[in-house]
């Protein structure tokens, strides 16, 4: 009896860096850039009462803004306002390609005034050209306090291909709408070459495993016959005992 058993294992791996990159570049090349931002403003304990009585307000809508060069954004400075520092934390890299689809940006600005209302416009850019992605509500600076910072939790949804982006923050006087300070990759290395991408590019690598079993003429009957043959051989091999009655 001739039996034929074929076991076929097919493993297909699709890598995002190759096929997904090509497909998504065509599909999302014209996608509108979209970032979901959660904004938190810290207020010094001594001034918490004043801040609690003030409703959040926004002076400028993001849709009214356009991209600018770094040179345009650095032209105006004020000696009465400056940035102390900024910090960036990257997270969410589902496809493990080193580019992240979310980041936290925290910054602290100071002023020579006891209290000054301001707002910030935050940009992402490459090659010293920047597109705005968020306008903060108006918030107060309290002198050179380190407790009046702003935290932006940013989730990139669409429109940002994998790249190393620079971040630029523009500080605006809320009373006059004049640009008073800028912080960018040239003045703070934490804002330079951030490896990010939007979620439509952050696709995990997928793999599909298909296992196929093919059986020839080997069926249930053949299996029963084989077991029967093994039983008969084992029975013949058993020692025979002879009893002689006298």
Q: Which of 183-197, 203-217, 232-246 has the lowest mean pLDDT?
A: 232-246
Higher pLDDT, 4 or 187: 187
**Would you state the structure tokens that stand for residue 87, as one six-digit string?**
């910090």
pLDDT category of residue 199 using cuts at 50, 70 and 90: very high
Q: Which of 42-51, 81-90, 145-154, 183-192 has the lowest mean pLDDT?
A: 42-51
Pairing mode of beta strands 129-135, 116-126: antiparallel
**How confident is the model at residue 21, as a pLDDT?**
41
Judge whether 202 and 101 are in contact, CB under 8 Å. Answer: yes
**Would you state the structure tokens that stand for residue 27, as one six-digit string?**
């599909």
pLDDT category of residue 214 using cuts at 50, 70 and 90: low
- Phi, psi of 197, deg, nearest 5: -155, 155
SS3 25: helix
pLDDT category of residue 246 using cuts at 50, 70 and 90: very low
**How confident is the model at residue 11, as a pLDDT?**
35
Tokens 């918490």 — which residue? 48
pLDDT per residue over 123-181, tens digit each? 999 999 999 999 999 999 999 999 999 999 999 999 999 999 999 999 999 999 999 99
Mean pLDDT confidence for 1-28: 41
Three-class secondary structure assignment of 50-101: HHHCCCCCCCCCHHHCCCEEHHHHCCCCCCCEEEEEEEEEEECCCCCCCCEC
**How confident is the model at residue 7, as a pLDDT?**
40
**How confident is the model at residue 79, as a pLDDT?**
93
**How confident is the model at residue 47, as a pLDDT?**
74
Tokens 């345009």 — which residue? 72
**How confident is the model at residue 168, as a pLDDT?**
98
Tokens 């995002």 — which residue? 16
Q: What is the CATH number of domain 11-196?
A: 2.60.40.10
**How confident is the model at residue 45, as a pLDDT?**
83
Judge whether 187 and 77 are in contact, CB under 8 Å. Answer: no
Mean pLDDT confidence for 53-80: 86
Tokens 């009214």 — which residue? 64
Among 39-53, 138-152, 201-215, top mean pLDDT goes to 138-152
Which percentage of the chain shows pLDDT scores above 70? 67
pLDDT category of residue 76 using cuts at 50, 70 and 90: confident
**How confident is the model at residue 8, as a pLDDT?**
39
Q: Rounded mean pLDDT of the chain? A: 80
> CA-CA distance, 66 to 180, in Å (whole number)?
19
């Amino acid at each position: 009896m001739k039996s034929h058993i074929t076991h076929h294992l097919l493993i297909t791996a699709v890598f995002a860096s190759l096929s997904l990159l090509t497909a998504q570049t065509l599909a999302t090349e014209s996608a509108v850039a979209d970032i979901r931002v959660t904004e938190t403003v810290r207020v010094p304990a001594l001034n918490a009462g004043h801040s609690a009585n003030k409703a959040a307000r926004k002076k400028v809508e993001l849709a009214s803004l356009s991209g600018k060069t770094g040179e345009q954004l650095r032209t105006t400075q004020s000696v009465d306002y400056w940035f102390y520092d900024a910090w960036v934390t990257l997270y969410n890299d589902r496809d493990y390609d080193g580019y992240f689809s979310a980041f936290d940006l925290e910054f602290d600005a100071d002023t020579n005034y006891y209290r000054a209302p301001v707002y910030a416009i935050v940009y992402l850019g490459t090659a010293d050209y920047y597109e705005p992605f968020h306008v903060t509500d108006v918030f107060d600076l309290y002198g050179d306090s380190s407790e009046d910072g702003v935290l932006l939790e940013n989730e990139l949804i669409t429109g940002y291909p994998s790249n190393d982006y620079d971040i630029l923050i523009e500080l605006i006087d809320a009373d006059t709408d004049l640009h008073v300070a800028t912080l960018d990759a040239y003045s703070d290395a934490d804002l330079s070459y951030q490896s990010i991408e939007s979620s439509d590019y952050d696709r995990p690598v997928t793999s599909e495993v298909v296992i196929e079993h093919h059986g020839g003429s080997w069926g249930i009957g053949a299996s029963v016959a084989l077991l029967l043959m093994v039983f008969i051989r084992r029975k013949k091999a058993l020692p025979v005992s002879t009893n002689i009655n006298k």
